[in-house]
Amino acid sequence: MAPNNDPIGLSVVVPVYNEEEVIPELYERLKKAATQVSANHELLFVNDGSGDASLMKLQELSQRDSRVFYINFSRNFGHQIAVTAGLDRCRGKAVVIIDGDLQDPPELIPELHKKHLEGYEVVYARRAERDGESTFKKITAKLFYRILRRLTSFDIPLDTGDFRLIDQKVVHYLRQMPEQNKFLRGQIAWLGFRQSEVLFSREKRKYGKTGYSFSKMLRFAMDGITSFSDKPLQLVTRLGFTISFLSLLIILYAFYSHFILDKTITGWTSLIISSMFIGGVQLISIGIIGEYIGRINQNSRNRPLYIIDKTNLEKEVNTDTKQSLSR
Ligand code: UDP
Ligand code: MG
Task: Kindly give the number of the ligand 1 atom that is closest to the alpha carbon of 16.
Answer: 11
From residue 152, alpha-carbon distances to 85, 138, 293 in Å are 26, 21, 19
From residue 253, alpha-carbon distances to 25, 261, 264, 268 in Å are 73, 10, 11, 17
- H helices of the chain, where? 23-37, 54-64, 79-89, 109-117, 135-151, 168-174, 184-191, 214-228, 231-255, 268-300, 321-325
Query: Among all ligands shown, which has an atom nearest to the Cα of 211?
Result: 1
Cα 6 from Cα 209, distance rounded (Å): 39
| CATH no., domain 10-229+303-325 | 3.90.550.10
Give the pTM: 0.75
pLDDT at residue 131 in the model: 64
Sequence letter at residue 259: F
Long-range contact set of residues 72-76: C-beta below 8 Å, sequence gap at least 24: 72/47, 72/308, 72/309, 72/310, 72/311, 73/46, 73/47, 73/48, 73/49, 73/306, 73/307, 73/308, 73/309, 74/49, 74/307, 74/308, 74/309, 75/49, 75/307, 76/17, 76/48, 76/49, 76/50
pLDDT at residue 53 in the model: 93
Nearest alpha carbon, ligand 1 atom 5: 211
Sequence letter at residue 182: K
Which residues, judged by CB distance below 6 Å to any ligand atom, belong to the binding site of ligand 1?
Answer: 15-17, 19, 48, 76, 78-79, 82, 99-101, 103, 210-212
CA dihedral 323, 302, 81, 57 (to 10 degrees): 70
**Pairing, β 41-47 against β 10-16:** parallel
Residue 322 has pLDDT above 60, yes or no: no
Per residue in 182-191, pLDDT tens?
889 888 988 9
pLDDT-based confidence at residue 90 (cuts at 50, 70, 90)? very high
% of the chain surpassing 90 pLDDT: 39
Cα 105 from Cα 202, distance rounded (Å): 8
Cα 168 from Cα 175, distance rounded (Å): 11
Query: Among all ligands shown, which has an atom nearest to the Cα of 163?
Result: 1
Residue 95 has pLDDT above 70, yes or no: yes
Compute the distance from residue 121 Cα to the ligand 1 centre, in Å: 25
DSSP string, 182-195: --HHHHHHHH-S-E
The residues with which 45 forms a beta bridge, in sequence order, are 14, 70
Compute the distance from residue 149 Cα to the ligand 1 centre, in Å: 23
Nearest to 115 by CA among 199, 176, 181: 199
Compute the distance from residue 196 Cα to the ligand 2 centre, in Å: 23
Nearest alpha carbon, ligand 1 atom 3: 79
Q: Are 44 and 89 in contact (CB under 8 A)?
A: yes
Compute the distance from residue 138 Cα to the ligand 1 centre, in Å: 16
Nearest alpha carbon, ligand 1 atom 17: 211
Segment 271-285 mean pLDDT? 82
**Chain centroid, CA 238 distance in Å:** 29
**Pairing, β 68-73 against β 10-16:** unpaired
Compute the distance from residue 293 Cα to the ligand 1 centre, in Å: 27
Domain coordinates in residue numbering, the chain: 10-229+303-325, 231-301
Nearest to 164 by CA among 93, 202, 108: 108
Sequence letter at residue 263: K
pLDDT-based confidence at residue 296 (cuts at 50, 70, 90)? confident
Per residue in 224-247, pLDDT tens?
888 888 888 888 888 888 888 888
Local structure of 86: helix, strand or coil: helix
